[in-house]
Amino acid sequence: MTGQIYKIMRETDFEAAMREGRFRGSADDLRDGYIHLSAADQVPGTLAAHFAGQENLVLLALDAGRLGLELKWEASRGGALFPHLYAPLDLAALLWVEPLWLDDEGCHVLPESMEAAA
């Protein structure tokens, strides 16, 4: 599948991944055996369900076509198909990265880069 998919992560994890050239996964990813990713329409729900109120997050836009056969679309929350990567995330697939800010109500504000890609 081609197109953009997204990864939400802590800034410190992204900085470490940039040094290595790949992201091996968060604690949740490592526990589950794959890297959790989201389609554009799933990002708000993922933020609300798993990252509510958290600061110092970034949103990575990835070229799904560059992730190879290890990218699988599988049923998850509510039966929706989510992208799961069964390999380290090669940052050569990175299209852009943007910080995720909290508004006055503590909700994440999606970057304009994502709106332009939708």
Distance CA 111, CA 101 (A): 8
Mind giving me the DSSP string for 22-43? EE---HHHHHHTSEE-B-GGGH
Contact by Cβ (8 Å): 7, 74: no
The pLDDT profile of the chain, 118 residues, written as one tens digit per residue, is: 569 999 999 999 999 999 999 999 999 999 999 999 999 999 999 999 999 999 999 999 999 999 999 999 999 878 889 999 999 999 999 999 999 999 999 999 998 877 555 5
How far is Cα 11 from Cα 105, in angstroms, rounded to an integer? 21
Read off the pTM: 0.92
Dihedral sign, Cα of residue 22, residue 61, residue 111, residue 8: negative
Ranges of each domain in the chain: 4-110
At the topology level, CATH places domain 4-110 in: ADP-ribosylation fold (3.20.170)
